[in-house]
Amino acid sequence: MEIETASFHVEGSSLLWDELFAYRGLDEMDLRNFYMVAEYAACLKRFGMLEGALTDGVRSED
């Protein structure tokens, strides 16, 4: 993974690519791209991290 841009290239392992993508996250430009957001959500779901990402920072009304 390139540190400054968080760019990476993976050959032969979609699992590794998904894991790196889930770890890297999205920047402001990525959030404007529906495909990137959908791909990120799919990667989070694959690793059981989607629910936590959706509820982080959300206050419950207890």
Per-residue pLDDT tens for 24-51? 889 899 999 999 999 999 999 999 888 8
Q: What is the pTM of this model?
A: 0.72
Return the structure tokens found at 58: 């959300």
Identify the pLDDT of residue 49.
Answer: 87
CA 12-49-55 angle, to 5 degrees, is 150
Return the structure tokens found at 46: 């694959």
